[in-house]
Chain A
């Protein structure tokens, strides 16, 4: 299976007066047709920056300093701004975190849908409106005719996120980047939006890069998951295996922090310390100061990703054994 999206050794840095701060360091991943790849990590782990880089929306001082991004086999990270603009929305859709602020408050839902459709496809105003209606129906908005002429403030948060999803799907992109699509919503609405994303990926064959800090969302939604720590991928592989048998000590710690019903522990396990700031990433494995299974070489050499049981993990615990 050829990958729909392939990211190769991506590095994104923020140029500052005191030198570059590397926010994304040597990230490689692939997403296949119709696949949902979860990307999980703490705030500042580089999840959103990766998503923004794929969309070509990085703004100075941030820029791609190394690596390649390929969509359907051709590079998109070096496209001219206008070519990249045409590609956005058309071949890569985006869903943003906060539906309350992602929609322009001064334009109706219909106006925003129609302008997006007309931007990407040469159809008449009538046809665009019809497609907007169909899209609203598809993302589960009741009485779409009525909603079309309403303003964002007249809709609830969940409804607005559905509108944002409809906007991302206007031109039927093959890939959607969903950056924390459920974080700003209450729990019951979260479940609905997750169901919607799964259904759309299944029925339309749309691939989704699902960025979230919520391992629970990933476990319910994603096919595969990439665990990010301090701008690097700690572990990437099928979600079921990573949830049930994490290999990287950081992933193990993350799983311990998910509350489980019926568990006997009265306190959740937590990882001591905090993720390092971008200007103070420790040498070697970035996780070693917090790691409970630290080895001698951990603070000297950055572990490379190695294949273990159908997944990849960047940790000396597993690197030695598989290479040895």
Chain B
């Protein structure tokens, strides 16, 4: 894929991919690395890839890169999320910090659908297509994820 299309895609989707990677790693720096690597790998793809397939491909690639990182030896040398937050917390608001910790407590299968639907603004149908899920499955994940998030958030706030 030529650099102009990759750059345009980066402008449009970089934050979405960054958040998806962050959901899996819990580390901002690692998420940034995964994001950059995902876009670099996008350059290897043929120009025939359509625009609507770019974001699903980027999310899948970022997810795989994050999993590779979690399996790697480098992961064992990084600091846990709590220590990281304590060292340089980007969220001044305590409730926001609790909400993010609550999201990280959710099973992985809930995180990405919730991000795409609630944060990025995709409809349930679009979310299902982006993640290659059935519509009912995506809706069910969102409904249950919201309940679990509420419960986890309240526990974090105590």
Tell whether A pairs with B.
Answer: no
**B interface residue numbers (CB < 8 A to A):** none
